[in-house]
Chains A and B, each alone.
Chain A
C-alpha cells in the first residue's frame, strides 16, 4: 500500500473512530426524560417557608417546587451570574435607583391559577416589609428598597433609597420563593405548613424525619423541563449512613458535601459509577478576637497571631483530611471579587516566607512584653468538620511563636450564645453564604453588627463597607474591597481568616445536568437535572 493510500486509510479510520466516539458522547449529553432522583439531606426543614428559614434542610427538598424572580445561572460554577427565572428581562435605571423586570407570561401555579406581578409583589413585600410578628430572615439584606411596585400584571419594579451594587445578585437569592398573593392575603403563615408554587415539581408528601417526595409538574412554563419524573429526598443525619446510601446506590447524591475521606472511599468502591465535582465553598471559619480583653485589645498581638499561620502549608495538609482547601482573603477564590494570589501574599500572614512572618510575630510579642509560653484559651465549636482539625492546626501554629493555647470545645448548640455573650478571648467564628457577594459576607464586620463578636469599632471599615456597597463601577468597587480587606485582616487584624471551605460532591455518574457552585444553597431547583439511566 502506498504512503498516500495508507494515509487515506488512517484518516478514514480516525474519522470513523471519532464519529463512533461522537455518537455515544452526543447521546450522553442529550437530556433523557424519566426517572426519580434520590438524594440524601443531612438536615430537616423546620417549616416550609423559605422566607423565614436559614437551613439547607429546607432549600434542598423544597426549592424544586418554586421559582424565584431571578436565579443564579445553574451552569455557572462561580454561582455569581444572575439569570432570569420568572423574570424574562430587566432594565436598571442609569442612576441605579430603579430595577424594572418584565415577567414571563403563561406561568401557572400548581393550582392552575396564573402567576402575575401581584404575586411577585406580595412575596417581596413579605420578605422586605413583613407585617408585625412575621419573621423574615433576609429583610436586613433589602434595606435599600424603598418600595416594590406592580404597574401592570407582567411588570415588577423595585425603587431603591440608594444605589446598591449587589442588588441584582441579592434578588437571585434561592430563598425568595414566589408565593401566591391570594393565599398570603388570607394567611401570611400558610406557607409554613403548605407547599404551592410555580416550580418544576409538585408536592406529593413529606413524612417527617423520613422523606420528601415531589413529582414532575406537567404544566411547567419552561417547555420540555423538567426531565425527571420526580425526586425523593431522604433525611439522613448520620454522615456514614449518607455515604453508605450513595455507595449502596440507594441515593444518587447528597447536595451539601462529603469529606475528602468519604470521596476517596466512594471513588475506590464505585470507580466509574461515581463522578466527583469540587468547588471552593462560600463558607469560612474565622477567629474572633475579643477586642475588649487584654492583650487582644492590642493590634500587635492580633497581628502576631495571624503572622504565625502558615496557610499555604495548611492548605496542602488539611485538605487531605478536612473540608477546607484554598487560601483566600475576604471573598471566595475564583469568584469576581476574590483577591488575586499575588495581592493576597502581601497581607500579614499570607506571605510565602513563613519563617520571616514568625520572626516578625515573635518581635511583636517581645515588644509588647508578652513572655514565652504566654497562655490563653481558644474556644471551638463541637463539630468535627472542619472545626476540630482547624482548631488543632491553629493551636500548633501559635505554639510556634511561643504561645501556649488551650482549646475548649463548646457544644454546637451552646456556641452561638457563648459568642454573643462575649465569653471568650479567642473563638472560632463561622459564616456560610447563599451567594458569594461582598455585601452579604462583610456586613458582619461593621461596628455594632450582631455578628461582630470581637466587638471592634472601626469607622474606616464602616465607611469602606458602605462605599463598596454603593459603587456602581466594578473597578472602583474592587479597589474599595481591597482597601477594606487590608484594613480588616492586615493593618488592624480585627479577625483572622483561616482556610476557605472546599465543597466535594461525589455523586452517581447517572446524575447529569447539575453543576456545583460555591454555595450548597444554590442550584437546587432540579429543572436541568436528568438521569442517564
Chain B
C-alpha cells in the first residue's frame, strides 16, 4: 500500500511539469500578446516604439527558454510572479476567486451527492418500475440541460416572478453566511443538477451490477438482513465508480464554471481564466493552469487513497 501511494505521489511531479511546459508553449503560439492588448484599448492603433518598450518591461523580448526557466524557477519556489495585465501578485489575484470557486464546487457537489446517491440506489432497487423511469427521466433531463441555461432560467425566474436578483457582489461565508448563501445557492443548484444527473446514472448502473454479484447472493443466502446487505456490501462496492465520477467532476468544477460564473456574475477562477486568456496574461494563465492541474492531480490522488480504503484488493496489490 505504502509503495503504491508513494509511486502515485511521485508521479504527480512529472505530470505537473508536463502541464506547465505544454501550456507555456501553447499560449505563446497563439497570435497577439499582452503588450499589444494593453496598448490597443478600444482602438486599433499602437505605436511600434511603445510596443517594444512594453514587451521589454514584461521580459517578452527575451528567448522563450529563458522566460520558461525563470518562470519555472519561481513556480518551484511557489512564487508565480505578477499578473502582466494588472501588475498585482498572482497570489492576490487568485485567493478570493479560489475561495469562491471552491465553495461553489463544494456546494454543487453536495447538491449532486445528496440527490444522486438516494435516487440512483432507489432506481436500481426498483428497476423497470415507474420509480426507475422517473429517476431516469430526471437524470436524462439533467444531462441534456446546460448549467448556464438553467442559470439563466433561475435568474429570469427570480427577476420576473419575485422581482429579485441574487446579490451582485461576493460576500465570503465567514463575513455574512446568509448573504453568501443567497448568492451562491443558485449557481450551486444549476451546476449541481447537471452533475447529479451524471452521478445518478452511475450510481444506478453500479448498484445494478453489484446486486448481481455472487457475494451479494451469498450474503442473502446466509440470511443477512436486506438492509445490511445493501448498506454494508452492495452500496460500499457500488460507490467505487461513483466516487471516481464525483471526484473528477469536483476537480473539473474548480476551473470549469466559466459560463455559469458569467451568468451569475461570480468573480471565480473560471472567469479569471477566460479573462487571462483574452488578455494573453501569460503569467496568470500559467499559474492558473498549474493550480487547476495540481488540484486535479491532488483529487485523483485522494481518489486513489479512497479506492484503496474501499477496495482491499488495491491495498494489497
Contact = CB atoms under 8 A, between A and B. Distances in A.
Residue from B45, B97, B169, B272 with most neighbouring chain A CB atoms (10 Å): B45
Contacts of A44: 86, 275
A416 B36 contact: yes
Given A135-B53, A245-B168, A413-B37, A46 B44 contact: no
A209 B272 contact: yes
Interface of A: 44-47, 53-56, 133, 135, 137, 140, 192-193, 207-211, 234-238, 240-241, 244-245, 247-248, 250-251, 283, 412-420, 429-433, 444, 449-451, 453
A245 B165 contact: yes
B159 A431 contact: no
Nearest to B42: A432
Given A135-B54, A245-B168, A250-B168, A236 B265 contact: yes
Contact of B265 (A47, A245, A430, A433): A245
B213 interface: no
Interface in B17-52: 30-33, 36-48, 50
B286 to A, nearest CB: 17
Residue from B43, B85, B170, B279 with most neighbouring chain A CB atoms (10 Å): B43
A433 B43 CA distance: 8
A412 B169 contact: no
Nearest to A453: B44
A133 B49 CA distance: 11
Interface string B248-274: 000000000000001111010001100
22 contacts: A44-B275, A47-B86, A55-B42, A133-B53, A135-B50, A135-B57, A137-B41, A207-B169, A209-B275, A210-B169, A211-B169, A235-B267, A241-B264, A245-B165, A248-B163, A250-B168, A413-B30, A416-B36, A418-B31, A419-B44, A431-B44, A450-B46
Contact of A430 (B44, B57, B152, B275): B44
A140 B263 contact: no
Nearest to B35: A135
B164 interface: yes
Given A193-B88, A234-B168, 5 more contacts: A209-B93, A238-B262, A240-B263, A430-B43, A451-B44
A44 B83 CA distance: 13
A247 B262 CA distance: 17
Contacts of B155: 244
B60 interface: no
B40 A208 contact: no
Contact of A414 (B32, B159, B263, B271): B32
Contact of B41 (A54, A207, A251): A54
B235 interface: no
Contact of A54 (B33, B40, B275): B40
A238 B267 contact: no
Interface string B162-174: 0111011110000
B128 to A, nearest CB: 43
Contacts of B50: 135, 137
A54 B86 contact: no
Contact of B47 (A235, A251, A429, A450): A450
B42 A54 contact: yes
Residue from B88, B164, B264, B265 with most neighbouring chain A CB atoms (10 Å): B265
Contacts of B87: 46-47, 192-193
B115 interface: no
Contacts of A140: 47
A429 B263 CA distance: 30
Interface of B: 30-33, 36-48, 50, 53-54, 57, 85-88, 92-93, 96-97, 152, 155, 159, 163-165, 167-170, 262-265, 267, 271-272, 275, 278-280
Contacts of A235: 267
Contact of B97 (A53, A54, A209, A234): A209
A238 B265 contact: yes
Contact of A248 (B43, B159, B263, B278): B159
Given A47-B87, A209-B97, A244-B159, A416 B262 contact: no
A238 B44 CA distance: 23
Nearest to A286: B44
A234 B267 CA distance: 11
A244 B44 contact: no
A432 B40 CA distance: 10
A209 B42 contact: no
Residue from A244, A250, A419 with most neighbouring chain B CB atoms (10 Å): A244
Given A46-B38, A248-B164, A429 B278 contact: no
A241 to B, nearest CB: 4
Contacts of B262: 237-238, 241
Nearest to A433: B43
A256 to B, nearest CB: 10
B53 A413 contact: no
B92 A208 contact: yes
A451 B46 CA distance: 7
A228 B264 CA distance: 28
Given A135-B50, A412-B278, A413-B32, A54 B96 contact: no
Contacts of B168: 234, 236, 245, 250-251
A418 B272 CA distance: 25
B43 A54 contact: yes
A276 B187 CA distance: 32
Given A46-B86, A208-B88, A238-B263, A416 B44 contact: yes
A210 B267 contact: yes
Contact of A247 (B41, B96, B159): B159
Given A208-B92, A413-B32, A417-B31, A55 B44 contact: no
B46 A416 contact: yes
B170 A210 contact: yes
Contacts of B43: 54, 430-433, 451
A224 B227 CA distance: 76
Contacts of B152: 240
Given A46-B86, A444-B45, A413 B96 contact: no
Contacts of B278: 412-413
Given A133-B53, A241-B265, A413-B278, A234 B169 contact: yes
Contacts of B31: 413-414, 417-418
A208 B86 contact: yes
Closest 6 CB pairs of A and B: A54-B41, A248-B165, A451-B45, A432-B42, A414-B31, A238-B262
A433 B45 CA distance: 11
Contact of B42 (A56, A247, A250): A56
Contacts of B47: 140, 450
B85 A46 contact: yes
Nearest to A236: B265
A416 B32 contact: yes
B159 A416 contact: no
Contacts of A244: 155, 159, 165
Nearest to B281: A46
Nearest to A40: B168
Contacts of B92: 208
